[in-house]
Amino acid sequence: MNTKKEEFYKFVDVQGEDDCWEWRGCKNKAGQGIFNWRGTWVSIAWLSWVLTNTGSTKGMTVHRNCDNKLCVNPQHLFLEKSTYRRLTGKDAINIRELWRDKNTTLEKLADLFDVSVCTIRSVLLYDTWKEYIPTGKPVIYPKK
């Protein structure tokens, strides 16, 4: 076993072959497991897949056949063509305008636009779609 794989599995409660293997490491604000892989925070499901399988995951998303978002058992993971919708500049403007509503959350916006929370966060931080700016007062992230 290589060092990175050993480091990853230190945070996994490995059980039986058919059982969920719970992630005990870092989680993001949405409660999803994350791991720092080569300087970037990545999904634990994706990393578990990469560490135990060969082949590219490009254009694909790792899913679980169980309902446990902290499960990293390779037997529970499968690849599926990514269905994430691509945003447009108008979407970016709308996301930033909707963010002004004090009842809006990252998760609500992600559901509304059918993208990940990370994608919404990138739009709000102007990491993406920088040139698309809503009218009115500036959008401040994160909300206090």
Q: What is the pLDDT of residues 19-67, one digit of tens each?
A: 999 999 999 877 889 999 888 889 999 999 999 998 888 878 888 999 8
Helix segments in the chain, DSSP class H = 3-9, 44-52, 89-98, 106-113, 117-124
On whether the CB atoms of residues 109 and 95 are closer than 8 A, the answer is: yes
Distance CA 135, CA 47 (A): 40
Task: Report the phi/psi class of residue 28: left, alpha or beta, with left for phi > 0 and alpha for psi in -120 to 50.
Answer: beta
- The backbone torsions φ and ψ at residue 130, rounded to the nearest 5 degrees and listed phi first, read -60, -35
The pTM is what?
A: 0.58
Confidence category of residue 140, pLDDT binned at 50, 70, 90: low
pLDDT tens-place string over residues 72-110: 999 999 988 776 567 889 999 999 989 988 788 998 998
